[in-house]
Amino acid sequence: MAVVEADLEACQGYANCVLAADDYFDLDDNGVVVMLKIEVPESERTRVEEAARSCPVKALLVVDE
């Protein structure tokens, strides 16, 4: 199974990931990504990878566990 990793230091709160996959990502009160789910089933991998790639500062990555 794949997992999502977030670089909280890199996150700048653009929220592209939230728009693309709001069941996986949210922003806290400081505008930093909050992971709602970490494990990504194969059936959702493409959508979550697209959400991660939408981050302009590349703060998100989907990797195989």
Predicted local confidence at residue 64, as pLDDT: 97
Predicted local confidence at residue 39, as pLDDT: 98
What DSSP string describes 3-58? EEEE-TTT-----HHHHH-TTTEEE-TTS-EEES--EE-GGGHHHHHHHHHT-TT-
Predicted local confidence at residue 2, as pLDDT: 98
Q: What would the pLDDT profile of 2-59 be if each residue is shown by its tens digit?
A: 999 999 999 999 999 999 999 999 999 999 999 999 999 999 999 999 999 999 999 9
Predicted local confidence at residue 20, as pLDDT: 98
